[in-house]
Amino acid sequence: MRIALMLATLLCAGGVARAQFTINLDHLAKQAKESVEITLDGELLRLAGRFLSSTKPDEAKAKEVVSGLKSIYVRSFEFDRTGVFSEADVEAIRKQIQAPGWTRIVRATSGPRKGRDLNELAEVYVRQEGGKSTGIAIIAAEAQELTVVQILGDIDLDKLEGLSGQFGIPKLPKAGK
């Protein structure tokens, strides 16, 4: 789950469609060994931003990034065994981000090998409106893990580093270090 959450953390830097994913993943949560559910709307993000200092450089960067967000949605599941979620679960999520304006910018897989299921999958989608990135969605799956991330709102992808170490996001190394 650490790999999926790290991927999500590194790439959560834009807004996704106009609303959250409508897919109900509760059936997966009930079967998960570990489950993470984060849903922060604009009001909660603004409230959280108030607790960030404008005088501390790292917090000021995070405050600036958060100010442009409308919501953050994360669902992450870790299971005791394989086969709990299916390709149909992943495809249902994928279908919501195949509307006009969306572009898949990353697809990384390992497998499938003959007679075996997909071992790992990471997909990143970006939505563009008027020349601006208005959305980002991430699907990360391994045999016993599934993570879906959606961020709504305007944000400069170059300012992503500002969220490092904030809101439970691990402190990430700076690029080139």
How many C-beta atoms surround the C-beta of residue 70 within 10 A? 19
Q: What's the mean pLDDT when you consider all of the chain?
A: 75
Residue 19's pLDDT band, with cuts at 50, 70 and 90, is very low
Q: What is the pLDDT of residue 159?
A: 66
For 75-92, give the secondary structure using H, E and C. EEEECCCCCCCCHHHHHH
d(CA 104, CA 84): 25
Give the CA distances from residue 50 to residues 60, 70, 90, 146, in Å, rounded to whole numbers and listed in that order: 11, 15, 36, 32
For residue 98, what pLDDT is reported?
Answer: 77
pTM comes to 0.73
Q: Which of 151, 148, 9, 173 is nearest to 66 (CA)?
A: 151
Over range 39-47, report the average pLDDT: 86
More confident residue, 100 or 8: 100
DSSP 154: -
Reported as half-sphere exposure (CB side, CA atoms, 13 A), residue 142 has a value of 14
Check pLDDT > 60 for residue 126: yes
pLDDT digits (tens, 9 = 90+) for 131-164: 888 778 889 999 899 998 888 788 666 665 556 5
Q: How confident is the model at residue 17 (pLDDT cuts 50, 70, 90)?
A: very low
Residue 54: pLDDT over 50: yes
